Structure formats: structure tokens, C-alpha cells
């Protein structure tokens, strides 16, 4: 290597495995690594550009820039947080209908949890997502109950018409009863009930599964 130690003038060097760098044989001064500096510069520039896209609301572009950085620096927490922010549109997309974004959000959430990062913003988002889910379940329950009440009304009317010997009307009401029950079953009442009875989750858990 055509290089002279800046500290002692020595010309021979060795690789220090634990520090992962070249060092002077006599004094241990690390060899200036231009490539490493360039890598860091590239990282800083790409990250800064991703942050600009994030600020401008260009979520896709931000994710595209962050992805290679996450591969290169897998323990850099701020990268995952930024990608999560982009995938959830700055924590404003509660429904997360876009499957690609949901996958990224789920992946980055898990990484953050693994790296012991759980911000208040993340927890509030998780809670909002859970509340919205409960709200939807509540709506489904109301719909199911409505169909069950309609079925009960049909059965009552069918009985009354039967007593009054109005067989055709009685048959129609019986058909209505079957139809209403079928509708109620279509909404999977058992599943909805089970989900409603579940206790609140740990908000630190991945809310995208
Ligand atoms: Zn030296």
C-alpha cells in the first residue's frame, strides 16, 4: 500500500478485525478510508432526500429511497421510523387498504419493536386503528341484530296469518323469515361476537396483521 502513517510515518499496515479497519503497524492509527467517507456522504444525501419527499407527502418516493438504506444499515432505527411514516402517510392512513403499504408498515413496525423503538405517535396510531376496527365490528353487530329482529317480526306475522287462515300471506312471511335469517348468518355473527369479546390488544404489537 502506497500510504504513509500521518502520525508516525510508518509505511506498513495491517487489518484489525475487531475494529474492521486498516491500522498502522507501529502506532495503530487507522488508515483514512475515503470509500467509507463517500458511503456516509451518500447515505446522508439519500436520507435527506427521503426526508424532503416525506415532508412533501411523496410517500412512494420516500419509501423507494429508504429501502436500499435499510438493507445497507439494518440497525438504523430512524430509517424504519421514516419508512413507517411514509407507508402510513404520516400516521394518517388508519384503514391501510393498500396492501403494499400495509406490508411495509408491518415489516418496519416489527423491526422497530425488535430494536426497542416504540414512540408515542406509534402507540396512538395503533390505538386509533384498533378503535376504528371496533367501530366497524359494532356496525356489523347492529346490522346482524336488525336482520334478526326482522326475522322475529316475520315469524310473528306468519303465525298470525296462519291463525287467521291466510295461508298465502303466512307462506310469504315464512319465506321472509328464512331470508332474514340467511342475511344475518351471512355477516358471520359468531365471528363478530368473538372479535367483540376480545380484550384490548397490546398496542405495541404489529397492528397491521
Ligand atoms: Zn503510525
Cell readout for 78 is: 430512524
Decide if 31 contacts 3 (C-beta within 8 A): yes
Cα 113 to middle of ligand 1, angstroms: 43
Residues near 116 by Cβ (< 8 Å), separated by ≥ 6?
none
Domain boundaries, the chain: 1-31, 34-114, 133-197
Q: What percent of the chain has pLDDT over 90?
A: 81
Cα 30 to middle of ligand 1, angstroms: 8
CATH topology of domain 34-114: 1.25.40
Q: Is the pLDDT of residue 42 over 80?
A: yes
Decide if 137 contacts 193 (C-beta within 8 A): no
Average pLDDT over residues 3-17: 92
Model pLDDT, residue 59: 97
Cα 25 to middle of ligand 1, angstroms: 7
46: exposed, middle or buried (Cβ count in 10 Å: 0-12, 13-18, 19+): middle
DSSP 188: -
Q: Is the pLDDT of residue 120 over 80?
A: yes
Cα 16 to middle of ligand 1, angstroms: 14
Closest CA to 50 of 76, 15, 26, 14: 76
Cα 24 to middle of ligand 1, angstroms: 5
Model pLDDT, residue 1: 53
Beta bridge partners of 16: 21
| Average pLDDT in the chain | 93
Model confidence over 127-150: pLDDT tens digits? 999 999 899 999 999 999 999 999
Q: How many CA atoms lie within 13 A of 27 on its CB side?
A: 11
Cell readout for 92 is: 394518517
Band of pLDDT at residue 19, cut at 50, 70 and 90: very high
Q: Is the pLDDT of residue 75 over 90?
A: yes
Cα 19 to middle of ligand 1, angstroms: 16
93: exposed, middle or buried (Cβ count in 10 Å: 0-12, 13-18, 19+): middle
Closest CA to 83 of 108, 118, 116: 108
Model pLDDT, residue 32: 86
Amino acid at each position: 500500500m502506497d500510504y504513509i502513517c500521518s502520525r508516525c510515518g510508518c509505511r506498513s499496515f495491517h487489518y484489525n478485525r475487531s475494529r474492521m479497519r486498516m491500522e498502522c503497524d507501529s502506532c495503530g492509527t487507522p488508515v483514512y478510508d475515503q470509500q467509507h467517507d463517500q458511503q456516509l456522504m451518500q447515505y446522508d444525501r439519500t436520507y435527506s432526500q427521503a426526508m424532503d419527499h416525506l415532508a412533501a407527502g411523496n410517500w412512494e418516493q420516500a419509501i423507494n429511497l429508504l429501502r436500499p438504506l435499510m438493507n445497507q444499515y439494518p440497525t438504523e432505527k430512524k430509517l424504519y421510523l421514516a419508512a413507517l411514516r411514509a407507508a402510513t402517510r404520516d400516521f394518517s392512513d388508519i384503514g391501510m387498504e393498500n396492501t403494499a403499504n400495509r406490508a411495509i408498515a408491518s415489516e418496519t413496525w416489527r423491526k422497530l419493536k425488535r430494536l426497542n423503538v416504540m414512540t408515542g405517535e406509534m402507540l396512538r396510531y395503533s390505538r386509533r386503528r384498533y378503535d376504528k376496527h371496533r367501530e366497524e365490528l359494532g356496525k356489523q353487530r347492529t346490522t346482524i341484530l336488525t336482520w334478526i329482529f326482522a326475522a322475529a317480526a316475520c315469524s310473528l306475522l306468519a303465525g298470525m296469518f296462519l291463525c287467521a287462515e291466510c295461508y298465502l300471506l303466512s307462506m310469504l312471511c315464512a319465506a321472509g323469515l328464512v331470508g332474514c335469517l340467511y342475511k344475518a348468518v351471512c355477516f358471520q355473527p359468531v365471528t363478530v361476537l368473538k372479535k367483540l369479546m376480545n380484550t384490548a390488544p397490546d398496542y405495541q404489537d404489529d397492528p397491521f396483521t
